[in-house]
Amino acid sequence: MGVNTQPSHFILTISCDDQPGIVHALSAAVVEAQGNITESQQFSSADTGRFFMRLQVETTAGLAALEGALAPVVERYDMKSEINTVGRPLRTLILTSRAGHTLTDLLVRQRDGHLAIDIPLIMSNHDTLKPLAEFYDTPFWSQPVTTPEEKAQFEKHLLEMVDTHDIELVVLARYMQILSPEVCAALEGRAINIHHSFLPGFKGADPYRQAHERGVKLIGATAHFVTSDLDEGPIIEQNVVRVDHSQSPEELKATGQDEESRTLTQAVRWFSQHRIVLDGVRTIIFK
Amino acid sequence: MGVNTQPSHFILTISCDDQPGIVHALSAAVVEAQGNITESQQFSSADTGRFFMRLQVETTAGLAALEGALAPVVERYDMKSEINTVGRPLRTLILTSRAGHTLTDLLVRQRDGHLAIDIPLIMSNHDTLKPLAEFYDTPFWSQPVTTPEEKAQFEKHLLEMVDTHDIELVVLARYMQILSPEVCAALEGRAINIHHSFLPGFKGADPYRQAHERGVKLIGATAHFVTSDLDEGPIIEQNVVRVDHSQSPEELKATGQDEESRTLTQAVRWFSQHRIVLDGVRTIIFK
Amino acid sequence: MGVNTQPSHFILTISCDDQPGIVHALSAAVVEAQGNITESQQFSSADTGRFFMRLQVETTAGLAALEGALAPVVERYDMKSEINTVGRPLRTLILTSRAGHTLTDLLVRQRDGHLAIDIPLIMSNHDTLKPLAEFYDTPFWSQPVTTPEEKAQFEKHLLEMVDTHDIELVVLARYMQILSPEVCAALEGRAINIHHSFLPGFKGADPYRQAHERGVKLIGATAHFVTSDLDEGPIIEQNVVRVDHSQSPEELKATGQDEESRTLTQAVRWFSQHRIVLDGVRTIIFK
Amino acid sequence: MGVNTQPSHFILTISCDDQPGIVHALSAAVVEAQGNITESQQFSSADTGRFFMRLQVETTAGLAALEGALAPVVERYDMKSEINTVGRPLRTLILTSRAGHTLTDLLVRQRDGHLAIDIPLIMSNHDTLKPLAEFYDTPFWSQPVTTPEEKAQFEKHLLEMVDTHDIELVVLARYMQILSPEVCAALEGRAINIHHSFLPGFKGADPYRQAHERGVKLIGATAHFVTSDLDEGPIIEQNVVRVDHSQSPEELKATGQDEESRTLTQAVRWFSQHRIVLDGVRTIIFK
């Protein structure tokens, strides 16, 4: 556990069918566990009829007492629930390729203490970024992915490493390879990709060239959950930046990389703080 | 009451010294009143040690039942509390002068149903904007304010009108006159001004000229509560817009007017939804 | 001519195949006409091989002298060229329907002297906005467009009015009707539409509902030239605003209307200042 | 010279008293040198009566031919002028202290080829960032600055290194020490500082704490030229980011660091492209 971990400060996230009394039942359980609610957000989805809540609770009674008090509420309302310790670094595996800007941004912020993740492994289909990983004392493994066999091997190793390191989040930091449907399914809800375009917009290859050709006045980046339906996963965060007619596709790309970095880092930060909840094909962000 | 009023949907805002159990006590009272919490925000101020909460509660039991259930909690925790009906238009008096851009923005949005205010009166020290008020069927009263006597008369009439119309909010939509300390005190916490600069920054007269002379690259606007300490009242909202070296003070002013309008309208909207809470010299905005 | 017109200050816009010596030839002509260049922008398009330039020139020698000096340059380089007087209001016809937010923004800014257009006529398929037009002393004509015959009549009248009033710009301020290919062709390069989405993105009907369903985190608006290929015309300006999971399609719509207004007004302002140049399917904006 | 250098592509920047004929004279000289103007910006300052121009010129005739053709124009109009090769990396010395975020941003972008600077030396009053410098293969020198004697030694070495390495730009990347008036004077117009606040606003120490206490809704960063009048140097670039009541001074600081980095990097990029011109106490940015 990292230095920011506060063993008496917990994050509780729940979801269940919307109905009266949920907030009261949860707050009663918190009181029973001698807890104090320090942050609270909720949302009732008109789209799915589900209720979502994120609570931060301080208690000196300990985790077991909190879990014990919550158990009957979770059962009564048929809740999906999760308790995490505030500040515990999330075990994160990063997939990358040759472009290092998003990886750099993640590593810099992690080292500066602004991003609560542990990175037991970076995996890549190129060894280009190995020195960068070494500078940040982060294990790096690479293997070419040019044939179906290599891809299968790479993905097999990926799933093994997810298992070995008890990975909670996989980040595709400009990985540039399409994951197989099986891997997408295995990592559902815990793999985040950065798409170098403002979705929906320019999907597929070379969106900056598409943006130039269409003559758009803003370009953007989109962080989204990985699904087997490429570029269609639930959107987590988006940013744009103004461009003009004078910029070539290459210049758009350089400009867009800043947006890619900050958008992906923001998505990872929210995920590490358990602020992202899936509501069907949409995300709820409890900022 | 306006068309958006929902008599079974209430906004509860409270503040009290921070301590454990508040959220539980409030949610128990809501359950007692057969209420369902549809929106909830809270904040514990490390600066003042106060706890603040805003709840939206739906209940068919009615306002009296909700008030009855809450009364003992309010007493026990020595809370300041307020209950309002969701969507009830706020009784708003607007002070203005000759520049109509912020007034227009308020009137357009009110008429379009995007701003829940009723405007029983616009008061001005010029009759310039009378036709505008008439187009929007809003009562308009003006009197010159050039001498101390006229100022005293104007302010006396202002306080009478606040009383007569049971005014909940006074908006200084580019009023351009300094209110006396007595009036500031009488309207404390319910008078909002728009300052044509990004505070703290260029205070006093002609901030756009000051901005030009300093060569800033962004100009802004600040909506804040009126206090007798000019330009120092609690900040509610700020916006900026990019400018460049080629813009004259006049062009900065034209550019800045859009920011003034949207910043003031946003502040008024939040106030009308009871989303703004004072925490000492700072504001909490429960968006 | 409006009050801002300066009869000795001209805007020269030219385009021709890119080649050396153009700037020199133009500036020599300006000197010959005793002119002083007060603003200058140029762009060489790598996409089309065309060169574009916009000059503002002050001269007491008068328009005829400037035209005379430029004529041989225009001929030598086979230029498309245009000379306009700085500040001359553009003759603008506005098409609208029932939603008044973009129309209001245009009328307010025109009246405040921040938008150099004259509006001899507003045409609509509904009479909803007639009082608004009357308040701003602007002629208003409406006729239902529910049958093919009515549409044909409306469009016939539109083209007649464009002719009668010597219209330089047609603005579709939320007109909500598709113009026939013939009308699109007749107004090519001088009709601007506001699309209530960030193009490319949600095309077609009800983009705010589509945005809600996709769960985007930013919504936007796009001002573009009208072409017969719906929503595919050259983009002039785009803006976005941040939204979140809690907003219904209706709330997205209300939020997006501000972006629609300011985006359309900006596009009209640039057009009125002859700052927009077509470069194939892209626009050059000489800000 | 770096890989991006194009020996036949030049940047010409001039300033002189505003008067007719300048553009013509310059373009005639460009034609004489068989040049083609690929980018052109100009500005006539109403504040100082000076005229400023930046041209990019392509010519196969070479630098000497261009200089020769321009010489009489420069003399005739008493111009300050400068010619640089497009893409030539600027010799840049960086001053830093313990916070590495702005330095990292500069080094990453330089390495990625998005920032045309050479960095012969990083100087610091701490050795904290030595490993970072080493990772990027950049010479690093440090010496404590805690006494007036150490400060004098440090500054003496600084001026020697500026001389030795023929430094064109000194960047204060969160250097956190006040330079003596003598050093400020020696580096006038070629030293850029990043101030961690939106100027004018919170000057002096700990602006994020000041921002928290004032309750601002936006915080920002300002890149400006160093002058002996602290925080009053000509502003080059500013950015802001939205914050809210819930953020502590420490969180404001973390949030603000991103703005500091991108603001400083942008200022350095513009300087390296010779896009920044001083007009009295204001800057002209030829974007």
> B18-27, B256-265, C180-189 — which is least confidently predicted?
B18-27
Q: Does B217 touch chain D (CB under 8 A)?
A: yes
Residue D202: its pLDDT value, please? 87
Q: Are C33 and C66 in contact (CB under 8 A)?
A: yes
Chains that touch C (3 or more CB pairs under 8 A): A, B, D
For position C241, which CATH number holds?
A: 3.40.50.170
3-state secondary structure of A50: strand
Model confidence at A3, pLDDT cuts 50, 70, 90, reads very low
In a mutational test of the B interface, the residue from C103, C135, C251 whose CB has the highest number of chain B CBs within 10 Å is C135
- Per-residue confidence (pLDDT) for residue B173, from 0 to 100: 98
Element (H, E) at C222: strand C218-225
Measured between alpha carbons, how far is C252 from C256 in angstroms, rounded to an integer? Answer: 6
Residue A145 CA, chain-centre distance (Å), reads: 24
A46 with A95, same domain: the answer is no
Q: Give the separation between CA C59 and CA C39, rounded to whole angstroms.
A: 13
The string of pLDDT tens digits covering residues D190-213 is 999 999 998 888 887 889 999 999
Q: What are phi and psi of D77, to 5 degrees?
A: -95, 5
pLDDT for B183 equals 97
* pLDDT value at B258 more than 60: yes
Mean pLDDT across D144-168: 97
* Count of CB atoms situated within 10 Å of the CB of D269: 18
Confidence (pLDDT) at A1: 30
Yes or no, beta carbons of D114 and A254 under 8 Å apart: yes
pLDDT band at residue B286 using 50, 70 and 90 as cut-offs? very high
Q: A70: which residues sit within 8 A by CB, 6+ positions away?
A: A12, A26, A29, A33, A81, A83
Closest by Cβ to D27, choosing from C23, C34, C36? C23
Residue B212 has a pLDDT of 93
- Within chain C, residue ranges assigned H as helices are 22-32, 63-76, 101-111, 130-135, 148-164, 181-186, 207-214, 249-272
Distance CA D287, CA D270 (A): 8
Residue C2 belongs to a domain: no
Residue A271 lies in a domain: yes
Dihedral of CA atoms C125, C129, C130, C135 in degrees, nearest 10, equals -150
pLDDT at D4 > cutoff 60: no
Helices (H), A165-206: 181-186
Domain boundary (A36, A54, A85) is at A85
Residue A50 and residue A122 share a domain = no
Which residues have C-beta within 8 Å of that of residue C184, sequence separation ≥ 6?
C191, C226, C227, C228
Mean pLDDT over each residue of chain C, to the nearest integer: 93
B35 vs A: CB within 8 A:
yes
Which residue in A192, A245, A247, A283 has the most chain C C-beta atoms within 10 A of its own C-beta, making it the best mutation to test that interface?
A245
Over residues C158-178, mean pLDDT: 97
Chain C CB within 8 Å of residue B251 CB: no
| Partner-chain contact A28 B30, CB within 8 Å | no
D112 touches chain A (CB under 8 A): yes
Whether D1 is in a domain gets the answer no
Give the pLDDT confidence of D36-84 residue by residue, as tens digits: 898 999 999 999 999 999 999 999 999 999 999 999 999 999 999 999 9
> What's residue D199's pLDDT?
85
Q: D64 Cβ partners below 8 Å, 6+ apart?
A: none
pLDDT at C176: 87
Is B262 within 8 Å of chain C by CB?
A: yes
Instruction: Say if the Cβ atoms of A285 and C220 lie within 8 Å.
Output: no
In terms of DSSP bridges, do strands C90-96 and C169-173 run parallel, antiparallel, or are they unpaired? parallel
Q: Which of C118, C231, C258, C279 is catalytic?
A: C231
Statement to judge: residues C108 and C237 lie in one domain = yes
**Residue C144 pLDDT exceeds 50:** yes
Residue D81 vs residues C259, D5, D75, D192, D282: alpha-carbon distances, Å: 43, 21, 10, 21, 19
Q: Which residues of A touch D262 (CB under 8 A)?
A: 258
Measure CA B185 to chain center: 16
Classify residue D3: in a domain, yes or no: no
Among A140, A133, A126, smallest CA distance to A106 is for A133
Whether chain B has a CB inside 8 Å of the CB on A39: the answer is: yes
**Site from C192, C217, C241, C286 to mutate, A interface, most A CB atoms within 10 angstroms:** C217
Nearest CA in chain A to B287: A287
Do B12 and B130 sit in the same domain of this protein? no
Q: Which two tokens stand for residue D146?
A: 């805690």
DSSP string over A94-152: EEE-S--HHHHHHHHHHHTTSS-EEEEEEEESSSTTHHHHHHTT--EEE----SHHHHH
Distances (CA, A) of C245 to A117, B56, B111, D54, D232: 25, 18, 27, 47, 43
C284: three-class secondary structure by DSSP: strand
For residues C208 and C179, state if they share a domain. Answer: yes
Query: Which chain B positions have a beta carbon within 8 Å of C38's beta carbon?
Result: none
- Same domain for B237 and B209: yes
Which residue reads 């009378």 in tokens? B130
CA distance linking residue C10 with residue C22, whole number of Å: 19
Task: Based on the fold, state whether residues D70 and D211 are members of the same structural domain.
Answer: no
* B75-95 average pLDDT score: 97
Measured between beta carbons, which residues in chain C are less than 8 angstroms from residue D23? 27, 30, 37, 40
Using alpha carbons only, give the angle B262, B267, B272 rounded to the nearest 5 degrees.
Answer: 125
Structure tokens at C222: 């796009």
Q: Are B70 and B32 in contact (CB under 8 A)?
A: no
Q: Which two tokens stand for residue A26?
A: 């949860």
Give strand pairing partners of A84. Answer: A11
Which SS3 state, helix, strand or coil, does residue C136 take?
A: coil
Res. B86: pLDDT tops 60: yes
pLDDT single digits (tens) B167-212: 999 999 999 899 999 999 999 999 999 999 988 888 878 899 999 9
Annotated active-site residue in A18, A127, A206, A231 = A231
Q: Which chains, if any, share at least 3 CB pairs under 8 A with chain A?
A: B, C, D
**C69 and chain D: CB distance < 8 Å anywhere?**
no
Q: Is residue B2 part of a domain?
A: no
A231 noted as active-site residue: yes
| Shared-domain flag, residues B102 and B184 | yes
- For an interface test with C, which of B102, B103, B104 has the most C Cβ atoms less than 10 Å from its Cβ? B104
pLDDT at position B202 is 86
Closest CA to C184 of C151, C226, C154, C232: C226
- How far is B224 from B170, CA to CA, in rounded Å? 12
Q: How many domains does chain D have?
A: 2
Give the Cα separation of B29 and D177 in Å (integer): 57
Among chain B residues, the shortest Cα distance to C113 is held by: B254
- pLDDT for the residue numbered A202: 86
Does C103 lie in the same domain as C191? Answer: yes
C41 to chain A: closest CA residue: A246
Query: Which of D70, D85, D100 is at the close of a domain?
Result: D85
- Across the interface, of C101, C112, C262, the residue whose CB is closest to B101 is C112
pLDDT exceeds 80 at position A6: no
Q: Taking 90 as the threshold, does the pLDDT of residue C1 lie above it?
A: no
Strand partners, A235: A224
B123 found inside a domain: yes
Query: Do D119 and D132 touch, CB atoms closer than 8 A?
Result: no
Same domain, B56 and B136: no
C-chain CB neighbours of D17 within 8 Å are: none
Question: Which of A38, A68, A85 finishes a domain?
Answer: A85
**Could you tell me what percent of chain C has a pLDDT over 90?**
83
Residue A258 with chain D: CB contacts under 8 Å: 262
Q: Give the closest residue to D92 by CA, choosing from D123, D114, D113.
A: D123
| Chain B CB contacts of D240 below 8 Å | 218, 240
C-alpha closest to that of C171 among C114, C102, C239: C102
Q: What is the DSSP string of chain B?
A: --TT--TTEEEEEEEEE--TTHHHHHHHHHHHTT-EEEEEEEEE-TTT-EEEEEEEEE-SS-HHHHHHHHHHHHHHTT-EEEEEETTPPEEEEEEE-S--HHHHHHHHHHHTTSS-EEEEEEEESSSTTHHHHHHTT--EEE----SHHHHHHHHHHHHHHHHHTT-SEEEEES--SPPPHHHHHHTTTSEEEEESS-SSS--SS-HHHHHHHHT-SEEEEEEEE--SSTT-SPEEEEEEEE--TT--HHHHHHHHHHHHHHHHHHHHHHHHTT-EEEETTEEEE--
Positions of B marked active-site: 231
Q: Is A1 part of any domain? A: no
User: A120: buried, middle or exposed (CB in 10 Å: 19+, 13-18, 0-12)?
Assistant: middle
Cβ proximity of D166 and D88 under 8 Å: no
CA A185 – CA D46 distance, rounded (Å): 64
Nearest to D24 among C31, C39, C41 (CB): C31
pLDDT digits (tens, 9 = 90+) for C103-123: 999 999 998 888 999 999 999
Residue C38 contacts residue C9 (beta carbons within 8 Å): yes
Identity (one letter) of the amino acid at C205? A
Neighbours, chain D (3 or more CB pairs < 8 A): A, B, C
Q: Can you give the pLDDT at residue D1?
A: 30
| Least CB–CB distance from B240: residue in D235, D240, D283 | D240
Closest CA of chain D from B215, distance in Å? 5
**How much of chain C is helix, strand and coil, in % rounded to 5?**
35, 30, 35
Mean pLDDT, rounded, for C204-226: 93
B112, B258, B262 ranked by CB distance to C101: nearest:
B112
DSSP helix/strand/coil, C62: coil
Quick one: pLDDT at residue C2? 35
Whether residue D31 and residue C20 make contact (CB cut-off 8 A), yes or no, is yes
DSSP D57-116: EE-SS-HHHHHHHHHHHHHHTT-EEEEEETTPPEEEEEEE-S--HHHHHHHHHHHTTSS-
Nearest to C24 among D21, D30, D38 (CB): D30
pLDDT over 80 (residue D25): yes
The yes-or-no verdict on residue D2 having pLDDT over 80 is no
Q: Which DSSP category does C114 fall into? A: S
Range of the domain at A276: 90-285
Is B1 domain-assigned?
no
Task: Provide the pLDDT for residue C267.
Answer: 98
Q: Which residues in chain C have their CB less than 8 angstroms from residue B104's CB? A: 108
- Supply the pLDDT for residue A4: 42
* Residues contacting B43, CB < 8 A, separation 6+: B51, B52, B53, B279, B284, B286, D245, D246
What's the CA gap between D4 and D115, in Å, rounded?
A: 10
User: In the predicted model, is pLDDT for residue B5 greater than 70?
Assistant: no
B45-62 pLDDT, tens digit each: 999 999 999 999 999 999
CATH code where residue A72 lies: 3.30.70.260
Q: pLDDT tier at C5 (50, 70, 90 boundaries)?
A: low
Among C27, C60, C66, the residue to mutate for chain D (most D Cβ within 10 A): C27
CA distance D270 to D274: 6
Among A35, A36, A42, beta carbon nearest to B40: A42
The one-letter amino acid code at D155 reads E
As a whole number of angstroms, the distance between CA A172 and CA C213 comes to 25
> What is the mean pLDDT of the segment spanning A53-78?
95
B245 with D279: Cβ contact below 8 A? yes
Query: Is the same domain home to A117 and A246?
Result: yes
Is ipTM strictly over 0.90? yes
Helix axes B22-32, B63-76, angle to 10 degrees: 150
Q: Which of B23, B35, B38 sits opposite A37 (nearest CB)?
A: B23
Contact C42 D37 (CB under 8 A): yes
Nearest CA in chain C to B266: C255
The DSSP bridge partners found for residue B11 are B56, B84
Mean pLDDT taken over chain D: 93
pLDDT at C3: 37
Residues A183 and A213 in one domain: yes
- DSSP character for C211? H
How many Cα atoms are found within 13 Å in the side-chain-facing hemisphere of B191?
26
Q: Which residues is A42 bridged to in the sheet?
A: A53
